[in-house]
Structure 1
């Protein structure tokens, strides 16, 4: 099969690799589509990922695939199911690593429900909880977006932001778009500080309070949008640039919450607590994709998500041309690209 591999020289190439074999609790999936990620994927390609990576490696963590073969002890998947977060496993070639492995023509999913039921050790099933059956009626081309949406929805819900709150979202990428949408769904006032070229994307979601992060008077404009004597109940940093958080920290309400979701500058991240005028809390418990899977599927089927804001479903990029998509992503020409396997 074909797979997109980041080489030791941080070049993206298409390699021929073996189709994976499956274990008795696994299913083989023909991967249909994947979505690019401007965070994780680009850092794998550019060599700036915060975790140790063994190169060469197959990238991709936002892929979906149809079950074509079922292991003999699998109870919760069946042929034809569309499954999330499938990817090639380690060991396809001796020198080849895997960074989730979703940008390949075949991948595996594991029956984590059955392994839990029989009391198997956590390390055999826990990370496979991302393998979820996508609800019937959801288009294969839309399905890769579920990964971004359920990550961010889980994170947003865990922040415990009351309905009607005032929320500042820092960033204008795929995750910031999702946070803004979920804030709006919760009848919150969402103000976004992001790139000028992405304003239209947020406007298409109904977000009108948008400030160019390069605007010299951004703090003054922010206060005007917020309103006199009003404060933010939550600041979500979808980029990971603590300087912007520190700049706005004095606008956080008593016991307001900060969620630093992005990790653009994780090594140098630091919040200047004395920039605050009130006590606040920092959320640091991440997200759980499994817990938000059903809610995201329901929102898609109910037509409540404008998925076209994230990527163009009519013009997917072929796997063989995936380097072109990532090059365009580096130039900020799109939020995401849909890759057809």
Structure 2
């Protein structure tokens, strides 16, 4: 099969690798589509983070959809024809390459973690596979590439305690920031403000943003504060720079919550309470994709989550042209790009 491997910084190499080996609880999948992730994929390609890479060369990608084409003899909850989220290619059996989620490949493996749990298999052998969830058959697999982002961010903002009537401020207008905004609107926030790139203002409004601020505006922190002097119940930094963290602290209300989700300057920033105008809680409760899968499915079925806000569903890049997909994201031609992984 073909796969996109990170072998050296700056770009991916698409080449032939061994077909995956499937164990008794595994389901071999033909990979359909994958979406680019600016936050993780581009950071990895450009060498801006190394915490996620196991060992280069490595197959990257974590927003891919696969269709089951064969199952192991202990699989009970997945069947041929099922579409599954977060499928990826495993590392090479001979150790010649690793897998950093492995989503950009022609074939991948899903795991029947339900059966493994029922059979008493040690939790550390299946807990990481709970991201593999079954998708309704009528769903468009192109749109379903958004489910990773949607599930992560819905879990995160729900755990932060978002309640109907809250005021929410999102820092960053990329795919993740837009997802947080959409969830805030869907969950009943009375005000959804965003500070981001002026070029994203209209798409942000489509996602549910009520107030948009250009991050390049002079004194943008004071501008936001003047428009919402009482502060925001929930502030999420979807960028993760020192500048955006300080901006988050300056605009959180008394007793509010700040979440730092972005990774732009991970390990190089500090949260200084003196930068805040009120007492606040720093959220560190993480997220769990599996816990929000069914809720995301419901939002998709009712039209409350529209992949067309993030993706041009009619424009796809073949796996061989995956670097062009990332170039389109770098050049801000799109929020996220779709990669067609196989001819399935």
Q: Which residue of 1 aligns with 2:35?
A: 35
Matched, 1:278 2:278: yes
Q: Post-superposition shift, 1:277?
A: 3.0
Give deviations 1:132-168, integer Å, cap 9, x for gaps: 0012321111111111100100001000022111111
How far the C-alpha of 1:224 sits from its partner, in A, is 3.5
Q: Deviations over 1:177-218 (max 9, x none)?
A: 011111111221111000111112112224231001000031
Q: Distance in 2 between matches of 1:10 and 1:176?
A: 25
Q: Which moved more, 1:246-255 or 1:322-331?
A: 246-255
What residue in structure 2 maps to residue 308 of structure 1?
308
Query: Counterparts in 2 of 1:118-197, with a 5 A limit?
Result: 118-188=119-189, 189-197=191-199
* Whole-angstrom distance in 2 between the partners of 1:232 and 1:79: 48
**TM superposition shift of 1:32:** 0.5
Q: Which residue of 2 aligns with 1:70?
A: 71
TM-score (norm 2): 0.95
- CA–CA distance in 2 between the matches of 1:47 and 1:339? 22
Query: What is the CA distance between 1:251 and its match in structure 2?
Result: 3.0
Report the Cα distance in structure 2 between the residues aligned to 1:206 and 1:256, rounded to whole angstroms.
21
Two-structure CA RMSD over aligned residues (Å): 1.4
Corresponding position of 1:217: 219
Residue 244 of structure 1 corresponds to 244
CA 1:218 to 1:251, structure 2 compared with 1: closer, same or farther past 3 Å?
same
CA contact (8 A) 1:17 1:93 kept: no
Identify the residue that residue 328 of structure 2 maps to in structure 1: 328
Is residue 2:318 matched to residue 1:318? yes
Rounded to whole Å, the distance in 2 between the matches of 1:336 and 1:263 is 17
Contact 2:9 2:45 in 1 (8 A): no
| 1:92 Cα deviation from its structure 2 partner | 4.9
Shift, 1:269, TM fit: 1.7
1:205 corresponds, among 193, 204, 207, to: 207
Residue aligned with 1:39, SS: helix
CA shift for structure 1 position 248: 4.4
Task: Choose 240-249 or 152-161, whichever is displaced more.
Answer: 240-249
Which ranges of structure 1 fall in alignment gaps of 5 or more residues? Answer: none
Deviation per CA, 1:217-237, whole angstroms, max 9, x where unpaired? 3133212332xx422111100
Q: Distance in 2 between matches of 1:185 and 1:261?
A: 20
Contact 1:164 1:186 in 2 (8 A): no
Give the whole-Å Cα distance in 2 for the aligned partners of 1:247 and 1:149.
24
**1:6-36: CA deviations, max 9, x gaps?**
1135431111011112101100000000000
TM-score, with normalisation over the residues of structure 1?
A: 0.96
Asked if the contact 1:137/1:301 (under 8 Å) is kept, the reply is no
Asked if the contact 2:237–2:262 (Cα under 8 Å) also holds between the matched residues in 1, the reply is yes
Aligned to 1:232: 232
Quick check: 1:62–1:147 contact (8 Å CA) kept in 2? Answer: yes
For 1:233 and 1:65, locate their aligned partners in 2 and report how far apart those are by CA, in whole Å: 38
Q: Distance in 2 between matches of 1:32 and 1:193?
A: 34
| Whole-Å separation in 1 of the counterparts to 2:198 and 2:72 | 50
Residue aligned with 2:217, SS? coil
- 8 Å contact from structure 2 (residues 25, 75) kept in 1: yes
The answer to whether the 8 Å contact 1:2/1:17 transfers is yes
CA contact (8 A) 2:221 2:250 kept: no
Report how far residue 289 of structure 1 moved: 0.3
Aligned in 2, Cα 1:212/1:15: closer, same or farther, shift over 3 Å? same
Distance 2:130 2:260 in 1: 24
Alignment of structure 1 residues 6-25 onto 2, 5 Å = 6-25=6-25
Question: Secondary structure of 2:257's partner?
Answer: strand
Deviation at 1:247, TM superposition (A): 3.2
Output the CA distance in 2 between the equivalents of 1:80 and 1:10.
36
* Separation (CA, whole Å) in 2 of partners of 1:94 and 1:118: 29
For 1:325 and 1:136, the matched residues in 2 are separated by 27
Q: CA separation in 2, counterparts of 1:155 and 1:176? A: 12
Alpha-carbon distance in structure 2 between the residues aligned to 1:336 and 1:266: 22
CA distance in 2, matches of 1:248, 1:289: 25
